[in-house]
Structure 1
């Protein structure tokens, strides 16, 4: 069943009318002809949806990025990666299901995939901790990146997290250090790495695996140092000002490409990736393949230098 966001109410009403007419059509046995009315409403709904999504505010984009039916890491892995073999554990404490990682094949080539998984059901969300990784998740990511580097296998990061888990246990086990080590592992890779911001790219929890040669971002995703609610709480002690925070923080793909923080915006289907996950994943696949192709000719030293130059250039002459 489709879930609608608040600002999608006009589309929801039109699509509800379409469903009612289809029921009438099915029960009418040909006596009631409503084909033309259905076609008219479908056209109006599509036009309304397009109009709404052409002018989304940063807060509305935040809502789209968090949509529960948006395709997640495991959806991308299932559609794009053949012979995927997940690996578990950090060899120090345990496993963390908030980060999924392993090896497989992308279009016939070996690849290492690391990503945040939020889960698509209540049970899965609890198991994956809503994509908020603990230290062992980032240490697992480091272990996988070390293996990929040793065997000359490129790395794909699929980013979708509100941020690293802020619990006491995570802090006791070295959350900040684990994030720093994971970021360092990204920077030290001698193989190409590409990151895709699928939904939310939250704080160091995202950067820990998104410090890549190429950073791609879905059209309605967000990428920020803190959530809008967190920023509003710190700046104004008032979480109801999250919309104002989202606008001022410049967290959208359109803002971030202007600043040079992301390299490419990946267009989503009309109405967001949650309306047509297969199309969104297919479009992302082409961009991922192109990004790796651009980096394929570089030797290990050049790969590292390219990544270093990318991050050192952020903010210079982009304002």
Structure 2
């Protein structure tokens, strides 16, 4: 039996690999969908001794199957937006499917512990911030894991000024300027298109505010590459860097970028980069490939997910990190997934 608390106490690469292999065996035994996928690949579980030998479940399975590794009741169901756009912010071509992913969460406390602990590791005490959220496209639907997380962070900040904004941009502009001028530490979390809308209404010169974009134009604007986007946002908000959050419906953990689009994972999450021509092999640091995510917080669903993102591993950005950093450079075209589609039909 795996103690979930062991996941958040990982402090070395050796420990991560040991627990990841234990989680792999647990999910093979208890997750019928994942077991069938592994069997389809003729995986000999007894011979899986490294992270690279673990099969990664294509993320599309969360659209077509119930991916669960437990018989416990489902406490929360997170769903993807189902919005479509032909091009991503990194220049790749998006999946044009409108079928939404469903992440069945049996223990919501694991999600809460994951994002609370990760936020603390990257940003410190949440009570040191005023948290402002500009996430209109997420607020306007139900089942968003991002809204669940940000709502909790707003409450945990215990600050009367923290809160959500929908389309009331003028009110947000006044609040942002007032708080920044007063010396408050402000964290503005926003969906990309809404942040661009905001700086078209007001040119800021912020000194005490972190701007964190969560990605996505949601069909509201033409997609642009990250470098151009961050340049525009930096100029519009008057800041030197733009922070980013890398998360998705199918994960219970997030990676964060403190600038330049380079992401780092919390200790219980890692990224591997698979070969675009052969989904079962991996490429070296600095080379582009498909992003495979290990999220050990997904103990009750699947911790090994082959995403449709394209990325590169990078050397560690900060001392003490056992796994390399990464960047997202685009998305796979549906016709270009090569070996990641197995059994999705």
Higher relative contact order structure (alpha carbons within 8 Å, sequence separation ≥ 6): 2
Question: Bigger radius of gyration, 1 or 2?
Answer: 1
Which structure has greater strand proportion? 2
Question: Fold conserved (TM > 0.5)?
Answer: no
Which structure has greater helix proportion? 1
The alignment's TM-score, normalised by the length of structure 1, stands at 0.33
